[in-house]
Structure 1
Amino acid sequence: MGMSTGGGGSSLNNEINVTPMIDVLLVLLIIFMMIIPMSRKAIDTQLPDPNPQPAQPNVNPDQIVLEVLPDDKYAINREPVDKKELFNRLKSIYDPRPEKIIFIKGDTMSIYENVIWAMDQARGAGVKVLGVAPK
């Protein structure tokens, strides 16, 4: 609200002073422009090729597949391994290997906790890349 001085009569000015409101809006705009790029988070993922090449009939013998079976049973390339010996067996397999890649295949009846435990054991044994085998 403004007031005029001098002159012949006093009249009040009923116009809203929008300058402070514009200042506040510009400050908020600048704050949001700074915060939004910093709040973005990303997860690195590798998506399958949309145009896959025909599958080769030969299976790579260097691939290691860890199967998580029901009732706390595990198998490495279809060879049964005791739960207590899983870490030592994986460690002995992956110590001499230059490529530290494993594929984990969980049975539909196995507990999710056992699959995660097997992944942790593989990471502890030195595996760098964990792949999940498709159905």
Structure 2
Amino acid sequence: MARQRHKKRPMAEINVVPYIDVMLVMLVIFMITAPLLTQGVHVSLPSADAQPLSQDSEEPLQVTVDAGGNFYLNVGDDPDQPIDAGTLVQRSAAVLRNKPNTPVLVRGDSGVAYGTVVRAMVLLQQAGAPNVGLVTEPPEAASP
């Protein structure tokens, strides 16, 4: 009996089609869930006809004043926890020292006292903010 010669097979190639399918499914999942992950404190912003910020500016430092007069800052360990005035000044000053051109915005609930929003603006100026902007919602279109 003649010995059969074994042909050397080329190395098996990896079929990447299943990996591409998995990647596309994951991409769709992330695209759907990313907008749902926005965190923040719910405030009812006042309406005003104002120009939006340009998209090329860096992420702003936002102070939120809720209906109860509590301050929140979008920087720190837990932006959903209220902070006191001293913490607001310290954290804001630290951000502005590292990035002096950071836009500074105040989101004040439409039901909060005007003096509380002004107090937040004064605290931001104490932290070194040269300009402080107010966040508003565009007015509702008049229905015919």
TM-score by length of 2: 0.48
Alignment of 1:68 onto 2:65 = yes
Q: Is the 8 A contact 1:100 1:128 kept in 2?
A: no
Paired residues of 1:71 and 1:110 also in contact (CA < 8 A): yes
**Structure 2: where are the runs of 5+ without partners?**
1-49, 138-144
Q: Is the 8 A contact 1:103 1:132 kept in 2?
A: yes
User: Which protein is bigger by CA-based radius of gyration?
Assistant: 1
1:88 aligns with 90
Cα gap change, 1:103/1:66 in structure 2, threshold over 3 Å: closer, same or farther? same
Show the counterpart of 1:38. none
Partner of 1:77: 74
Identity of aligned residues (%): 20
Matches of 1:97 and 1:85 in 2, distance apart? Answer: 18
Gaps of 5+ in 1: 1-47
RMSD: 2.9
- Cα distance between partner residues in 1 of 2:68 and 2:90: 20
Deviation at 1:63, TM superposition (A): 1.3
Distance in 2, Cα, partners of 1:60 & 1:108: 26
Q: CA deviation at 1:100?
A: 4.2
What pairs with 1:48-67 in structure 2 (closer than 5 Å)?
A: 62-67=59-64
Q: How does 1:17-36 map to 2 (within 5 A)?
A: none
| Residue of structure 1 in register with 2:119 after alignment | 117
1:99-118 alignment, distance < 5 Å: 99-118=101-120
Going by fraction, where is strand more abundant, 1 or 2?
Answer: 1
Pairs aligned (count): 83
* 3-state SS, counterpart of residue 132 of structure 2: strand
The 4+ residue runs of structure 1 with deviation greater than 3 A are none
Separation of aligned partners in 1, 2:61 and 2:119: 17
Q: Aligned pair in 2 of structure 1 residues 81, 93: CA closer, same or farther (>3 Å)?
A: farther
Segment drifting more, 103-112 vs 74-83:
74-83
**Matched position secondary structure for 1:75:** strand
